[in-house]
Chain A
Amino acid sequence: MEKSQAEDYLTSLLNKTLRVTTTDTRMFLGQFKCTDSDRNIILSQTFEYRLPPPPKHLAGEEEETVTMDMTSRYMGLVVVPGEYIERIEVEEFESQMKGKKGVAVAGGKGEEEKEEV
C-alpha cells in the first residue's frame, strides 16, 4: 500500500465506530478519532466491554451467551496503545456494505476481507 493510500484509508475510518480488543480480552467500543504510526488509537465516547468472570459451575458456554453477558461501562475518551491491540473491527451498516466492498476490492485490499464479509 502506498503512503497516500494508507492515509486515505485511515482517514476514511475517522469517526466510525471501532471495536478494539486488547490483549487482556477487553473490548473498547467508541468513535475513532486519531491514530499514529505506532497504531495508538484514540476513541471517544468509549464503552468498555468485559467478559464476566467464569461461573463456578459451568466451564464451556456457548459463545453467543457470553457475548450477551458482557458487562459494559462508560469510560469516555480513551487511548489504546498500539502494543496492546489484538484486534480492530469497524462497524458498518449491512445495507451499505456492497458498495463499500466494491471500493475495497478495487482498492486492492487483501483477499481475507472478502471472505469475511
Chain B
Amino acid sequence: MGGEALNSISQDVANLVLDDGPRNPAPFAAYDSEPPPPPKLKSRGVIAMDITEQFTNAAQQLDMGQLIKDSYFTLFESVGALEIMDRKMDSGYLESGETMEDEYDFSEALLPEEIIGIIDQLLCHEMAWHMGHPLSQTIFTSLYIDRLLSPCPLNLDQTYFDRSESCSSNEPLTLQILRAYCLGLIRTCSYINNRVKAEHYYEEEDFVTHTFNRSLLENIDHESILKLLDETAELLSSSQEMGPNLRIALGCRLRFRAQFLKVVEMADARMPTNIKDLWTDLLAALPDIKSSTHLGKAVPASFSTKIQRKLASTVPPRPIVQVSQGAAFEHLERLCRDASVVVEVLKYYESHSLMTFVILFQTRKPQPSVYARTLLQHYLFCDMVILGTMSIRQVLDDDLAATVLPAHKLLDRGNDDIEVPHDPRHNMAARMEIFRSRAAGSYLDILRTICQNRCRIRRTLCHTIADWDNLQLDAEELDQELREFTEEEPTVDPEISNDPIYSFPLSSWAYFYKLRQMEWIVQLGFELDTYQPDELVGMYWYLQYLAKTRSRHLERMRGFIMRSYASFRRNPETAGQKQVEYANAFSFVNFSTMEAAATYGFADALSCLYTVLNRLSLIPSPSRPYSDDSMRYEVRMKPFSTIGLPELIQFDDLTQLITQPNESTIDIINFAAESVMGAKKGFEILSKLNAKDAYCQGSHDSWLKNIKDCLKACIFTSITISTVKKLVEAAGKDGKVKAKVEIPAAGKGYHDWWIVPKVIP
C-alpha cells in the first residue's frame, strides 16, 4: 500500500515536470475519468417536493430571452451541455417503439464460423482502440463483452453468457471459446490501459483510457483467465464437433489471446527477461490467424451502439468505428515489432547512446503506437529509477563526464563523504547537488518529451527551451562559485582579450543541450510541414547557424578537456580508468563536431540553393493578405525570442544574409555545390563509424539507416544544384530560366528533415 502510494506520488511528480498544463485540461473534460458516485434516491432526511406548477408559473413570468442562472455558470460552459431528447446528443434517447436493450439471445449456440467472425471483429475493435478510438465505439459495442462486464463479475463462475440455471455445466464449446477469448481480451486491455494511464500521453489526442465507469475485470486474476484459455484450447483439440480447419483456426486464436495476455502482463518488468522473445512469438502467431480469417462468418447482430446508453458518458452517442482487418493486423504487427525493439533500451551502454536510442525509436515510421511509447517511458523513468537499475544522478554524472567533465574531481563520489564544512570537497559536493537537483528534471524531460507524439515533441521543446536558457544561467553562477574550490587556473588568450578564460563546465553542458534542442525544433518544423516553401531558405539558414554555433561551442569544450588532460598526464599516479574517461569525452566531442559539420554544410547548401531558386523566381509564394514576412518571422522565432545565447538574428539582418545581394548567382550556386560536397563527405565518414564511436549502441541499425537517408538526400541535393547551375549558366542576360520546381510533401523525401527541391528544366 505504502509502496503504491509512493509510486503514485512519484508518478504525479513526474507528470508535473512537463510544463504543458493539467493532464485533463478543460477541453477534454468530456471524458471525466471519475464520475462522482450516483446519489441515493432515497435517503433519510431528504424529501423530494413536487414543484412543477410553481416552477412553470414562475418561468412563464420571465421575459423572452431572460435567464435565471447561477452567477458562476457561464454561457461558455453551457455550450458543452448535452441536450436531452435530442437523438444526436442524448445517448439515452429512445425512438418511439425502440427498446432500451437489444433483443439478443445469449443462450443460442453459435456456429464455429460465427465464433471466428466475432473474434476477428473484436480484434479489429481492439486495434481501433489502440489507434486512439474510445472503448465505447470499439470493444464495448460487443454485446458479449457487455454481458461479461455488466454487472461486474466477481469470479469466473459469474461470466457465463447464458444466465439461466444449469448453464454452467453444459455450456456449448463454441460459447466457452468465445467467453475465454473475451475474458482474455478484456484483461489484456486492462493491462494496456493501466500502462498508458500511468505515463505521460495526451488523452483523446493519442489515446482514450476512459472505461466509462466499467471495471476491466481487474478483480479477476489473470492466471485464472490464462488457465481457462488453456483448458478451452485443450478441450477444443480433443473435440470432434467441428472440422479440422475450424478447430485449428479457433485453437490458434485462443493461443494468441493467451500469449498476448501473458506478454502485456510481463511487459512491465524491467529485469532482463525473455520478453523480447514473447513479442516475437506473438508476431509469429499472427500469420495463422490471418490466413484463416476467411473461415469466419460475421455476426453483426452481436454488436450494437445501444450499449452506449448504459455507459457513464458525457458525450453524445457515436457510431461504431470500422477498422479493416488489414489495417488491424498491420497495426498489431507493428506493435509487436516496436515492443520487441523497445525492450532493448534496458541494456544501458552510456547516456548519449540512450538518448540516441530514444530519438531513433521515436522516428520509426509510422511512429510507434501509444502503448509502445508508454512502455518506453515506463522502462526509462518508473519510480525515478532509470531503466530499473540506475539513479538519476548516475545517468546525469555519466553524461557530464562524457561531455564536459571527464575524470573530474567535481564528479568524485568521495566528495560526498567529507563533512568538514570548509573542506573544498564538501563544498564541491554540496554545489554539485544543487546543480543536479536543478538540471536532472530538465535533462530527463528531454527524454520524456521525445516519447510524445511528433507534434507534441516540437511544441513541448518550444516551451522548455526557455527553461534551458535559465538553466544555463543558473549553471554559470554555480560554475563561478565552484572555481574557488576546484582552484581552476584560467587561460589567457591575448588574441581574444586579456581577460582570463574559465571553462564553465556546467553551463557549457547546458548550452550544448540547449543548442541541440533548438536544432531539433527547426528540424521537426521541416518534418511537420510547418514552413511554407518560401520560408525554407530562412529556416535552413537558421539551422546552419545553430549547427555552426554548436560546432564552435564544441571547439571550446574540446580546448578545455585538452587542457585538463594535459595536466592529468603530468601526474603519473592516475591512469587506467581515467584515461578511458578522457578518451570517451574526446570521442564524443569529435563525433558531435562531425555531425554538426555535416548538418551545417547540408543546411547551408540548401539555404543557398533556395536563395538561387528565389532569384530565378521559381519558388511560389502564396498570397498573404493579412501578414508580411517580418511578422511571420516573429511568430516562427517566438520560441527563440527569449533566448540569450545564441542571439536571435533580426529579420532585416536575416534578409540580408539569405538574399546575399552582393554575391552573383553563379557564385552562390558554386558555394552551394562545395558545401553539399563537404556535407556528403561528412555523412560518408559518419556512416562508417561503429556503434561505439557514433554513440548509438543498441540502435546502430536504425542510426545507420538514418545517416544513409541523409546521405541520399545530400546526393539528390547535389544533383539538383548541378541542374540549377546549368540553368544559370545557360540563362541569358535577363537571367530568366525555364524550369519547374517541385517541393516534396512532408514525409515524401529521402529524409524528413531535408526538404530537397526537384528542378525539372
Q: Which residues does A use to contact B, with CB under 8 Å?
A: 1-3, 5-7, 9-11, 13-15, 17, 19, 22-24, 26, 28-29, 32-39, 42, 44-45, 47-50, 52-53, 67-68, 70-82, 84-95, 97, 109-110, 112-113, 116-117
Q: Which residue of B lies closest to A8 (CB)?
A: B58
Q: Does B571 belong to the interface (CB within 8 Å)?
A: no
Q: Which residues does B use to contact A, with CB under 8 Å?
A: 32, 35-36, 38-39, 41-42, 44-70, 73, 77-78, 80-86, 92-94, 99-101, 213, 310-314
The answer to whether A112 touches B48, judged by C-beta atoms less than 8 angstroms apart, is no
Query: Which of A33, A76, A84: most chain B Cβ within 10 A?
Result: A76
Selected A-B contacts with CB under 8 Å, 15 pairs: A6-B57, A6-B62, A33-B69, A33-B73, A39-B55, A50-B100, A73-B213, A74-B38, A74-B312, A77-B80, A78-B82, A78-B84, A80-B84, A93-B46, A109-B54
B58 proximity list for chain A (CB < 8 A): 1, 5-7, 9-10
| B117 → A minimal CB distance (Å) | 28
Q: Is the interface of B mostly helix, strand, loop or mixed?
A: loop
Please name the 10 residue pairs, one residue from A and one from B, whose CB atoms are nearest each other, closest first.
A74-B35, A76-B314, A6-B61, A34-B69, A6-B58, A37-B62, A89-B48, A74-B312, A10-B68, A72-B38
CA distance A97 to B47 in the complex (A): 9
A15 proximity list for chain B (CB < 8 A): 70
Tell whether A77 pairs with B314 under 8 Å between CB atoms, given A29-B39, A47-B38, A110-B54: yes
The answer to whether B83 touches A117, judged by C-beta atoms less than 8 angstroms apart, is no
A39 proximity list for chain B (CB < 8 A): 55-56, 59-60
Apart from A39-B56, A73-B213, A79-B82, what 16 extra A-B contacts exist at CB < 8 Å? A6-B60, A6-B62, A10-B59, A14-B68, A24-B93, A37-B59, A39-B55, A73-B311, A75-B314, A76-B35, A77-B80, A78-B81, A78-B82, A81-B84, A94-B45, A113-B51
The answer to whether B81 touches A82, judged by C-beta atoms less than 8 angstroms apart, is no
The answer to whether B54 touches A73, judged by C-beta atoms less than 8 angstroms apart, is no
CA distance A72 to B277 in the complex (A): 46
| A78 → B minimal CB distance (Å) | 5
| B709 → A minimal CB distance (Å) | 48
A5 proximity list for chain B (CB < 8 A): 58, 61
A38 proximity list for chain B (CB < 8 A): 59
Tell whether A88 pairs with B55 under 8 Å between CB atoms, given A36-B62, A74-B314: yes
CA distance A109 to B58 in the complex (A): 11
Contact of A70 among B32, B41, B92 (CB under 8 A): B41
B36 proximity list for chain A (CB < 8 A): 45, 74
A19 proximity list for chain B (CB < 8 A): 48
B94 proximity list for chain A (CB < 8 A): 24
CA distance A92 to B43 in the complex (A): 11
Contact of B47 among A9, A14, A34, A94 (CB under 8 A): A94
The answer to whether A91 touches B62, judged by C-beta atoms less than 8 angstroms apart, is no
The answer to whether A117 touches B59, judged by C-beta atoms less than 8 angstroms apart, is no
| B83 → A minimal CB distance (Å) | 5
The answer to whether B69 touches A53, judged by C-beta atoms less than 8 angstroms apart, is no
A93 proximity list for chain B (CB < 8 A): 45-46
Contact of A36 among B47, B51, B65, B80 (CB under 8 A): B65
The answer to whether B84 touches A28, judged by C-beta atoms less than 8 angstroms apart, is yes
Q: Which residue of B lies closest to A97 (CB)?
A: B47
CA distance A14 to B67 in the complex (A): 12
Tell whether A76 pairs with B82 under 8 Å between CB atoms, given A7-B68, A49-B41: yes
The answer to whether A88 touches B42, judged by C-beta atoms less than 8 angstroms apart, is no
A87 proximity list for chain B (CB < 8 A): 50, 52
CA distance A1 to B65 in the complex (A): 19
A52 proximity list for chain B (CB < 8 A): 100
B56 proximity list for chain A (CB < 8 A): 39, 88
Q: Which residue of A lies closest to B311 (CB)?
A: A73
CA distance A58 to B68 in the complex (A): 45
B60 proximity list for chain A (CB < 8 A): 6, 37, 39
Contact of B83 among A14, A23, A73, A81 (CB under 8 A): A81
The answer to whether B82 touches A89, judged by C-beta atoms less than 8 angstroms apart, is no
The answer to whether A42 touches B78, judged by C-beta atoms less than 8 angstroms apart, is yes
Tell whether A88 pairs with B68 under 8 Å between CB atoms, given A37-B63, A77-B314: no
A75 proximity list for chain B (CB < 8 A): 82, 92, 312-314
Contact of B101 among A53, A80, A94 (CB under 8 A): A53
CA distance A16 to B51 in the complex (A): 13
Tell whether A89 pairs with B61 under 8 Å between CB atoms, given A77-B80, A81-B83: no
